[in-house]
Structure 1
Amino acid sequence: MNPAFSNCRPQHSTPDLHAWPLGRKPAGTVLNAGDEAMSCWRGEKRQDQEGLLNPTEVEMAVFDIADEKHFEDHVETVSNIVTIDNIRVLGLSADDAEFYTNFPVDRRKKLLRKVDIRLVPMLAVLYLISHLDRANIGNAKIEGLVKDLGLTGIQWNIVLSIFFVPYVLLEVPSNMLLKNFSRPSIYLGILITCWGIIMTLTGVVQNFAGLMATRVLLGVFEAGFFPGAVYLCTFWYMPKDLSTRIAVFYCASALSGAFSGLLAAGIAQMDGVGGQEGWRWIFLLEGIVTVILGVMCFFLLIDSPRRSGRWLDPEEIRYLELQHFIKEGGHFKDERKRASWSDIKAVLLNWRMYMLAYILLCQSACSYGTKFTLPTITKAMGFTNTNAQLMTVPPYVAGALSAIFFSKLSDRFYWRMPFVAIPLTLVTVAYSIIISLHGQLRENIGPAFFAVILTCMGIYPIHPATTSWTANNLASSSSRAIGLAFNICIGNIGGIIGSYMYIDSESPKYYTGFGLSLAFGGSGLLVALLLELSYIYGNKKKAMVTEAEIRERYTDDQLLAMGNKSPLFKYTL
């Protein structure tokens, strides 16, 4: 290695962060606002007496290293940009690039499993409890909540929908606030503990006003969890590995429906214990469990590689930090850096984000409409209260398995669109079958129950695939944090719609609910196909300009500042 090349490494300017393992860190890992990003990699002339290389020397140094065959297989060098695994990286030293590409495959797999074991199950359990806590009100309904609190027809729909008002409004601000925390586990733990307390208090409400208050507060504290959890995953996984991991803990949303039915069937047997109705015990016990999990979050939820020295060795930490640096294209920022107005503007002016958000809205409307109403639908098939609760389990289990299956395929082929479009097709077919039964569910239990299962198999794979599609097509961590929260925020407006789609007076035909769900499935499918065509066209348009022309027109910093608009950025299909 050219000895002068080691000088081309800006020093860390943030004293409170841990030193890099082995006494080193990748070039330009963290810069304070106003510092020159990756200064020695710029295409500008530098003075030799400054101890920095000029661009020609950098290019020669990199190509000297790249003569090694294994290194050539993974790293492509163009001017002063290194391309690793199809990701263009600015500011990565040859030594760090060589370490990353030569990191043994068996160690990579072992490291991925270690991260999976530490992160995914915890997030899955937390996401399960979040959906359990927001949707168990549907189970409480058939155990007598509406009658005991004296709710009228429209009041029930208002109670369901009011949760989503703060939930939608606070998702983006919550993720922006999360970026100020060096330990996401603290922030997420506070949210979970607070909504657990609110859930417990739901078990003691006496009227419509009290129930409304607890639902609003539940929406406030639950708003930040899912976008925060997805954002946390982006610090540990490469884009090609993201969809499966999100699906594993997102399928907990489906399993929450199954658990909700099982738990409600069991807990409702406590009716009269302590002088309390059975539906109150559903909220009381599930709320206490949530508080316990929130406290556990402070100790068990992992934050970042640099804070994981107890279970990662120095080389594993270095590899994971380099992985994040490479994924960021070299434009590495401290994860605590505040999101700027330019990051917000980049998301709001990205018209493709609205298409992705609409797909999530379609999924959300169908999902929440089904989740809130499924116990009532199974009861309309002729099952008693307890059996109606239990019959909600198979559809949700099928939905969870479907989410894992489609997400595995999505990551295997690194192609998102088909695994959004196919589930949307299943949703469309399922609601077509249900509508064709004209409300005669008791007389057609087989087809009706098959359609319900098919509905869940279509609904639950959509969210992880669309969320990964969003994350893969946003370049910087700040825009990714805002973009994910924005899309999930807009998508959750579907929860408000889903709360009003199923009108009690239409039971069991539910023409409005089933009809709107069919429309959402079909329109979501159309939008997914149009979005795919736009990404294909965008990539072809960018490919028309040669690398040499791009290099003449823009500096490296300008290209990185463009984010996903950069002519060197390739959209994930």
Structure 2
Amino acid sequence: MAAITDDKLPVEDAHDTAMDVAKGSVHAHTEYDEYLDLCRDFTGQRLQLLVRKVDWHVLPQLIIIYLMSYVDRTNVGNAKLFGAIPDMGMTGQDWNTALSVFFVTYAAGGVAGAFSGLLAYGIGHLDYTWGFRGWRFIYCIEGLFSLILSILALWVLNDTPAKITKWLTPEEKKFLVLRNRFAAGGETGIAEKEEFSWKAAKDAFTSFHIYAVALMEFTLCVTVYGYSFILPTINLGYTAANAQAMTAPPYIFACIVTVFSGWAADRYKQRMLSVVLPNSLAACGFIIMMVTSQYPHLPGVTLFGVFLTTAGLYPISPAVTAWIALNCAGSMRRAVGIGAMISFSQLGGIVGSNIYIAGQAPTYPVGFGISLGMLVVCGIIWPIIYYFILKGINQKRAAIPLEEIQAKYTEQQLSDMGDRSPLFRYST
């Protein structure tokens, strides 16, 4: 990495700097040297305080926006419960087809499910108010929230650390910028490629890892959207309004499990288990619902299955998103990779909206069967296989001497290679 030289400075500044260097009062540092110095400063409690500061300024806005995005997607089952199908003269298949069209355009969270259910419970009491059915109020009121929030987001969302001036000190800003820049290079001092590059975007679309993780997220979308659509209509012996309210406790429990799962994944550095264990929990829940849905006198057991399924499904999306973010080096490749993964996987909503056939209610053998099969094959078995693939790649790269890598590639080449660099290690 090239050091700072006087020929990059104006003549008078170069002269002054040369004099300072001669006196030993100024030492030229590369960006990586500066980053290492900052790493020594930001340790222990100081680093924790900085992380908490970022969390408090960034996460609340994102949580609310994510919540409302899921409310819009999951209120379909609530609308169905309050008479949307007969009011519009639709059949069950017409309803599924409409949902498929919705997810084609959409392809371009636990708290949300609870919020949507509680909102629908309250809005449900407006059924037949002013001569309108409750499902119309669900769409109007919940849609209005999203519209207002989208306008507010223009002012409340934070930019990148380099552009924040209000709540980060210059030293904190510099540390965060450099930490992002050198994250992929480990202790090699090689910076990530940050500027826009069509090659980096193309590499993201041709990366095996994007599709490997997208398969897990696609499976989640198939199961979670189909499940969300029929959850309010599962026969537990409640009235329509109470059925809405009873969907909230499982989602609240899922929120708690999601937070714990994220903490455990970071604490123990286990990305594969953060996907496999929740999928296993969801699979157990589906098995319970498949069996007990045939016995209306066992609503408590069915509700237990609902709790397990919901708690198992919602931690998966944060887990796989974190996994692909950690395994894509370079800000451009990471951004494109995450976007591509989410876009591809959202098409799972097309499948999920068509596998729960109205004529098969309340047992839904096809819907539950497909969901369970995909959870086992793509949500449990495939992540384990992918884990061993990553371990194998890491072992091969670790066996290459550092001197051999440095002799074969320049620093710029290693930076351009991103996660394909022999210096990069995949998170498992």
| TM-score, normalization by structure 1 | 0.68
Is residue 287 from structure 1 mapped to residue 143 from structure 2 by the alignment?
Answer: yes
1:327 is paired with a residue whose SS is: coil
1:282 is paired with a residue whose SS is: helix
Is residue 414 from structure 1 mapped to residue 269 from structure 2 by the alignment?
Answer: yes
- Report the equivalent of 1:456: 310
* Segment drifting more, 511-520 vs 286-295: 286-295
Change beyond 3 A, Cα 1:10–1:572:
farther
- Report the equivalent of 1:327: 183
- Report the equivalent of 1:114: 53
In 1, distance between residues paired with 2:336 and 2:91? 39
1:417 is paired with a residue whose SS is: helix
Change beyond 3 A, Cα 1:291–1:110:
same
Q: 8 Å contact 1:339–1:478 — kept in the other structure?
A: yes
Alignment of 1:83-482 (within 5 A): 92-168=31-107, 170=108, 253-327=109-183, 329=185, 330-332=190-192, 337-340=195-198, 342-377=199-234, 380-437=235-292, 439-482=293-336
Q: CA deviation at 1:101?
A: 2.6
- Report the equivalent of 2:391: 536
In 1, distance between residues paired with 2:426 and 2:179? 19
Aligned length: 407
Q: CA deviation at 1:348?
A: 2.9
- Report the equivalent of 1:506: 360
In 2, distance between residues paired with 1:549 and 1:365? 46
Alignment of 1:6-21 (within 5 A): 6-7=4-5
User: Residue type matched to 1:323 in 2?
Assistant: R
2:271 is paired with a residue whose SS is: coil
In 1, distance between residues paired with 2:92 and 2:416? 53
Write the deviation string for residues 229-286 of structure 1: whole angstroms up to 9, x where unpaired: xxxxxxxxxxxxxxxxxxxxxxxx2121111111111112123434432221111111
User: Residue type matched to 2:36 in 1?
Assistant: A
Q: 8 Å contact 1:403–1:460 — kept in the other structure?
A: yes
Change beyond 3 A, Cα 1:489–1:93:
closer
Structure 2: give runs of 5+ residues left out of the alignment. Answer: 10-16, 19-26
Q: 8 Å contact 2:265–2:271 — kept in the other structure?
A: yes
User: Residue type matched to 1:449 in 2?
Assistant: L
Q: CA deviation at 1:449?
A: 1.0
- Report the equivalent of 2:426: 571
User: Residue type matched to 2:316 in 1?
Assistant: I
1:368 is paired with a residue whose SS is: helix
In 1, distance between residues paired with 2:201 and 2:95? 36
Alignment of 1:25-104 (within 5 A): 92-104=31-43
Q: 8 Å contact 1:399–1:457 — kept in the other structure?
A: yes
Change beyond 3 A, Cα 1:348–1:293:
closer
Write the deviation string for residues 384-421 of structure 1: whole angstroms up to 9, x where unpaired: 11111111111111111111111100011222001111
Q: 8 Å contact 1:434–1:448 — kept in the other structure?
A: yes
Of all paired residues, the percent bearing the same amino acid is 36
Q: 8 Å contact 2:200–2:332 — kept in the other structure?
A: yes
Q: 8 Å contact 1:402–1:461 — kept in the other structure?
A: yes
- Report the equivalent of 2:369: 515
Change beyond 3 A, Cα 1:96–1:543:
closer
User: Residue type matched to 1:432 in 2?
Assistant: I
In 2, distance between residues paired with 1:423 and 1:344? 31
Write the deviation string for residues 325-371 of structure 1: whole angstroms up to 9, x where unpaired: 2225454555xx4440x223322332232221111111111110111
Q: 8 Å contact 1:6–1:93 — kept in the other structure?
A: no
In 2, distance between residues paired with 1:125 and 1:354? 28
In 1, distance between residues paired with 2:303 and 2:181? 48
* Segment drifting more, 306-315 vs 513-522: 306-315
Q: CA deviation at 1:10?
A: 7.5
User: Residue type matched to 1:516 in 2?
Assistant: I
Q: CA deviation at 1:451?
A: 0.9
Q: 8 Å contact 1:254–1:396 — kept in the other structure?
A: yes
User: Residue type matched to 2:368 in 1?
Assistant: F
User: Residue type matched to 1:134 in 2?
Assistant: R
In 1, distance between residues paired with 2:204 and 2:328? 9
User: Residue type matched to 2:254 in 1?
Assistant: G
Change beyond 3 A, Cα 1:383–1:554:
same
In 2, distance between residues paired with 1:338 and 1:315? 26
In 1, distance between residues paired with 2:197 and 2:411? 22
Change beyond 3 A, Cα 1:10–1:354:
farther
Q: CA deviation at 1:6?
A: 4.4
User: Residue type matched to 1:115 in 2?
Assistant: V
Q: CA deviation at 1:5?
A: 5.0
Change beyond 3 A, Cα 1:257–1:99:
closer
Write the deviation string for residues 16-41 of structure 1: whole angstroms up to 9, x where unpaired: xxxxxxxxxxxxxxxxxxxxxxxxxx
- One of 411, 415, 418 as aligned partner of 1:560: 415
User: Residue type matched to 1:560 in 2?
Assistant: S
In 2, distance between residues paired with 1:461 and 1:8? 53
Change beyond 3 A, Cα 1:548–1:332:
closer
Larger relative helix fraction: 2
User: Residue type matched to 2:332 in 1?
Assistant: S
Q: 8 Å contact 2:103–2:349 — kept in the other structure?
A: yes
- Report the equivalent of 1:48: none
Q: CA deviation at 1:569?
A: 0.6
In 2, distance between residues paired with 1:548 and 1:312? 39
Change beyond 3 A, Cα 1:96–1:407:
closer
1:383 is paired with a residue whose SS is: coil
Q: CA deviation at 1:288?
A: 1.8
Change beyond 3 A, Cα 1:332–1:422:
closer
